[in-house]
Amino acid sequence: MKLSYCVVNTNGRDDLIACLDAIEGTAPPGVASETLVLDNASDDGSAEAVRGRVKDGRGGDVRLIALERREGKAANDSRLLREARGEYALLLNEDAELTSGCAAALIEALDAEPRAAAAGAQLLNSDGSTAACAWRLPGWGAALASALFLHHRFVTQSGGDRTHEVGWVQSSAMLVRRSAAEQVGYLDPDFFVYSDETDFCARLREAGWAILHVPSARAVHHDQLASDSTGADRRLVEFSRNRDLYLRKHLGAAQAVLMRPLLTLPHLLRAAYAAVRPGRSSRRYLALASHAMSPNRGEGIREAAEAHNRALEPAPNVPRRLP
């Protein structure tokens, strides 16, 4: 089998159905494929919707992995990579929709470059505009460029019109050579979400593989979490702690701590600018600065998942005290 579509879903039933419709509608002709859906203990009827789809005979070869307890994104993707049967696995978020020719272009890119382990699609926002989706690996150079507001020029690597090598690509629509993923031990589950694909790409590169960005492969990323204002603070905590985890893992604890002021500076500058501009708020920038300096403070998405799992556990059978 050539291709395994691997979709992770957490409470995104409508987006998931749209994702599966797009897979079915854009499948490259003549390419043997399967579709795996991992439902991450959703409580919105997502698993039932997939079962109904399979029962109705829609979408071809679809396998559902329905978890009873919620796990992190890295663990989800690793489970799918192990379960998949294809030479290549196309990792997808439930809120990603492939456009015509996307999967074919990604396959062509990896077929043409045997030393490449992964290829990322050019992501589009819901309005059709292009989104940044490939970057240089984090480090002192990237942090300095961001502090000087030069990140678009020296850090962002997506765009253009030709396939090219990059540091890392976003996993919302990323084709992975499964043999390479197995070689490096898949994704690290210590990254609950955010920086998981950054670490994965870094380890693939350390093992001698290349990472590609493929502009001709396009996928719409609706980014359902961006509209979830109630979880914004948790996402900020999770993003900051996992970026710090990446830096400690790849640069060492001392350098990760020393880099924090440099990572904090651009947020403080933006907060100061927003404070003197009518109609602008500096609150979010100050929150970003605070978490950049103290990345392990607060509760993130991991804690929300742990609370969800605890709620599923039966109450302890406490003996009643007799009068």
**Residues 213-232: tens digit of each pLDDT:** 999 999 999 975 554 556 88
pLDDT (0 to 100) of residue 170 = 97
Give 264's pLDDT tier (boundaries 50, 70, 90): very high
Q: Is the pLDDT of residue 72 over 80?
A: yes
Confidence class of residue 322 from pLDDT cuts 50, 70 and 90?
very low
Query: Which pLDDT belongs to residue 208?
Result: 98
CA distance 80 to 182: 12
- Give me the pLDDT at residue 99, please: 98
Confidence of residue 93 (pLDDT cuts 50, 70, 90): very high
**Are the beta carbons of 9 and 79 closer than 8 angstroms?**
no
Residue with tokens 């579509």: 5
Q: What is the pLDDT of residues 11-39, one digit of tens each?
A: 999 999 999 999 999 999 999 999 999 99
DSSP 3-state of 276: coil
Average pLDDT for 284-305: 94
More confident residue, 141 or 228: 141
Q: How confident is the model at residue 317 (pLDDT cuts 50, 70, 90)?
A: low
Dihedral pair phi/psi, residue 147, rounded to 5°: -65, -30
Give me the mean pLDDT over the 263-273 stretch.
Answer: 95
pLDDT at 263 over 70: yes
Query: How do 62-66 and 33-39 pair as beta strands?
Result: parallel
Q: 285 pLDDT band (50/70/90 cuts)?
A: very high
pLDDT of residue 258: 97
DSSP string, 88-115: EEEEEETTEEEPTTHHHHHHHHHHH-TT
Q: What is the pLDDT of residue 231?
A: 80
Mean pLDDT of 289-316: 90
What percent of the chain has pLDDT above 70?
Answer: 94
For 242-246, what is the mean pLDDT?
97
Q: Residue 223 has what pLDDT?
A: 72
Q: Does the pLDDT at position 111 exceed 90?
A: yes
pLDDT (mean) for 185-204: 97
Cβ atoms 196, 221 nearer than 8 A: no
pLDDT of 123 over the 70 cut: yes
Among candidates 122, 262, 149, 137, which has minimal Cα distance to 197?
Answer: 137
pLDDT band at 56 (very low <50, low <70, confident <90, very high): confident
The residues near 83 (Cβ < 8 Å, ≥ 6 apart) are 36, 63, 65
pLDDT above 60: residue 199: yes
Q: Are 215 and 101 in contact (CB under 8 A)?
A: no
Predicted local confidence at residue 314, as pLDDT: 72
Q: Does the pLDDT of residue 323 top 50, yes or no?
A: no
More confident residue, 75 or 59: 75
Question: What is the pLDDT of the chain when averaged over all its residues?
Answer: 93
Provide the pLDDT for residue 73: 97
Q: Please state the φ and ψ torsions of residue 111, each to the nearest 5 degrees.
A: -60, -35
